[in-house]
Structure 1
């Protein structure tokens, strides 16, 4: 196992790998960053725990929590094929972001990686400038979309299809459907336990708004849903339709039914994320969703020349 890489931080800051007791503070940092950019939080409880469950990620080597002198969390980063770097708004402009980018690249290089990616909000001009000045290049656009629903008439399901909420025991079949549905564009299939950590085992999992469609008795489509930290919002984490059952209106029906399920639960606004490689943006716009904000996946090729941050 490759050794630990220490970030070279500005004076007045210290760092350590994430510990279980740090997770609530890191989640609060992520929420604060989103509040600063968008006026609302998108990350709910459980996001950091789910990220730490990524196969191959070793918390002692692949994570960094940065604290100021008084002990408050000022920054956070992890790296595992991709990387996330976040700095508290009150600690920006002091070199923390650059230091954590350098750390992430050094750690990825030490682990034998050939490239590293960062997802940067397009609204964060300083972060966009920083990663591009460090040799990252834009690759994929990500969009967060929203829809505010009423309990209007639900469009009919395709002939032969029925829809019901998630039940205990549906997990393995739902996992298989999602992996088959995402095979066209995801880089690798996710094992059951990794996938479940982000969905079924997530503290915000919403079974009543997780809808499964069956056609002639076979699972052919589904939405996987979470409650958002915003009390009036729900989150569609995943939408999957089996390739053999696409272009029949099943995805549109599942979306509308999920919008209504969240509305009945007192969450009239539904949000979901997609990116340019899925080709799904037109579908979401067609059902009345609109883009709330966007981010760009930036990638950098890294050499294996021994060098520290």
Structure 2
């Protein structure tokens, strides 16, 4: 057993503060993890933002064992106190607000780095809400530097948005069964410009069209002839009264024609007709898409920063 495996197997490792124990997280823990994450988000933003099916997809991503990169920390009563997740060059850490100030954040940060090295990584990045100043300070103290900024954007939908006709030569219709592979290729081709690696179809589907919250009626596609050249993929998140856009992509040779704006307005209109008072989406500075969303009337609700560092082996 390697030292990294031991971190997953020992319920009371020395790196954990006294009074806590840990174990590998599984899909059976989704509700407990979601409760922990929701508590963190309520503390920072006043409302939960992460859906349970996103966490379920996270726990079943392909790798050297579906549970090999997720750790659940519990308190003495067995309640969830912290959560760490590592996949490739990305990691996430959550500490329940009731358990902050006890060293769990630093302990889990160290665990993510050890785990990432074991999984073959030489760099690690973590996204931290800008409102969480303590977490940002912890990362800076650990040698992390700022990489990109992410924004959660919102638009109120008190009225049905006006949707202009599509650009010349373009037709628009909602997503329907059979579009999956074409939309997968389109979105992964578009995201190849800035994402660290291309997803396999099963992994992509788990985060988009394979989710129980995927909403085809608010997921318009743009076609040039019979070729998909643009897509907006939306979710109907349980417990939220807002619409959510998960993906926006336009094929490189069809950009600058207004396709993205047309598709987003179609999605906004669909959410308005479903009674949603607002719609949100995430973007970040590497995409260069913020001005587009602002022209559509979206504004920043809050921001996060992606912090990264090189991992030193040895």
TM interval, short-chain normalised: over 0.9
Residue 156 of structure 1 pairs with residue 165 of structure 2: yes
Residue 74 of structure 1 pairs with residue 81 of structure 2: yes
Residue 245 of structure 1 pairs with residue 254 of structure 2: yes
> Shift of the alpha carbon at 1:218?
1.9
State the SS of the aligned residue for 2:5: coil
Equivalence for 1:209: 218
State the SS of the aligned residue for 2:165: coil
- In structure 2, what is the Cα distance between the partners aligned to 1:270 and 1:209? 11
Deviates more, 1:18-27 or 1:65-74: 18-27
- In structure 2, what is the Cα distance between the partners aligned to 1:130 and 1:231? 31
- In structure 1, what is the Cα distance between the partners aligned to 2:245 and 2:161? 20
Residue 138 of structure 1 pairs with residue 138 of structure 2: no
Equivalence for 1:181: 190
Residue of structure 2 aligned with 1:293, choices 291, 299, 302: 302
- In structure 2, what is the Cα distance between the partners aligned to 1:45 and 1:112? 28
- In structure 2, what is the Cα distance between the partners aligned to 1:198 and 1:185? 18
State the SS of the aligned residue for 2:196: coil
Deviates more, 1:137-146 or 1:227-236: 227-236
Question: Deviation per CA, 1:128-150, whole angstroms, max 9, x where unpaired?
Answer: 11111111111111111011122
Residue of structure 1 aligned with 2:245, choices 214, 218, 236: 236
> Shift of the alpha carbon at 1:187?
1.8
Question: Deviation per CA, 1:260-300, whole angstroms, max 9, x where unpaired?
Answer: 11111111311111111101111011110000111111011
State the SS of the aligned residue for 1:4: helix
Task: Output the TM-score relative to the length of structure 2.
Answer: 0.93
Equivalence for 1:110: 118
Aligned-residue Cα RMSD (Å) equals: 1.5
> Shift of the alpha carbon at 1:60?
4.3
> Shift of the alpha carbon at 1:45?
2.2
- In structure 2, what is the Cα distance between the partners aligned to 1:18 and 1:192? 24
> Shift of the alpha carbon at 1:205?
0.9
- Residue-pair matches, total: 305
- In structure 2, what is the Cα distance between the partners aligned to 1:215 and 1:167? 17
Q: Which runs of 5+ in 1 are unaligned?
A: none
Residue 45 of structure 1 pairs with residue 52 of structure 2: yes
Contact persistence 2:230–2:259 (CA under 8 A) = yes
- In structure 1, what is the Cα distance between the partners aligned to 2:47 and 2:233? 22
Q: 1:244 to 1:86 in 2, by over 3 A?
A: same
> Shift of the alpha carbon at 1:242?
0.7
> Shift of the alpha carbon at 1:14?
0.5
Residue 225 of structure 1 pairs with residue 225 of structure 2: no
Task: Output the TM-score relative to the length of structure 1.
Answer: 0.95
State the SS of the aligned residue for 2:214: coil
Equivalence for 1:4: 5
Q: Which runs of 5+ in 2 are unaligned?
A: 8-12
Question: Deviation per CA, 1:35-75, whole angstroms, max 9, x where unpaired?
Answer: 11001111112111111232325344321101111111011
Residue of structure 2 aligned with 1:26, choices 30, 33, 37: 33
Contact persistence 1:5–1:106 (CA under 8 A) = no
Q: 1:227 to 1:60 in 2, by over 3 A?
A: closer
- In structure 1, what is the Cα distance between the partners aligned to 2:238 and 2:124? 29
